[in-house]
């Protein structure tokens, strides 16, 4: 099962006046900024991922730059090198000029998530509101 982790936010200053409309807007932004994380400490070493040319996170103001196909800042991994979904995503990356390469995942690449767990969680992406 997947869960959501919060992205750090700046706290409100003490004594500052904030209208109810501003509070509602802040709450809506906060909900949009939640990042999906896969439960457990699954070790995906030896699985496969797609390395790409660096590209920025789509979330406004986020400074994260991915060097792999990611979702919510997690490297997407597949158990098999020839998984049809891995190949389809690599093809899409190629079509937009991201220079994809299928490589064996290593923990040094950063946190990972199984593509199928991510898909089952509704395909969350940081900065993109779900359907």
**Pair 99, 52: CB distance under 8 Å:** yes
pTM: 0.65
Closest CA relative to residue 125, chosen from 64, 50, 42: 64
What is the share, in percent, of the chain residues with pLDDT greater than 70?
62
Cβ pair 7, 37 in contact under 8 A: no
Q: Which residues pair with 101 in a beta bridge?
A: 51
**Which tens digit of pLDDT belongs to each residue from 46-87?**
999 999 999 888 888 889 899 999 888 889 999 999 999 999
Give the start-to-end residue ranges of the domains of the chain: 1-131
């Amino acid at each position: 099962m997947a869960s959501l982790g919060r992205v750090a936010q700046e706290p409100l200053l003490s004594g500052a006046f904030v209208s109810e409309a501003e509070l509602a807007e802040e709450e809506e932004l906060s909900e949009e900024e939640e990042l999906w994380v896969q439960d457990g400490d699954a070790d995906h070493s030896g699985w496969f991922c797609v390395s790409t040319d660096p590209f920025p996170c789509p979330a406004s103001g986020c400074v994260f730059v991915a060097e792999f196909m990611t979702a919510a800042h997690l490297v997407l991994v597949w158990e098999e090198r020839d998984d049809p979904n891995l190949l389809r995503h690599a093809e899409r990356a190629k079509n937009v000029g991201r220079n994809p390469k299928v490589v064996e995942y290593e923990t040094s690449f950063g946190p990972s998530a199984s593509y199928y767990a991510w898909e089952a969680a509704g395909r969350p992406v940081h900065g993109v509101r779900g359907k």
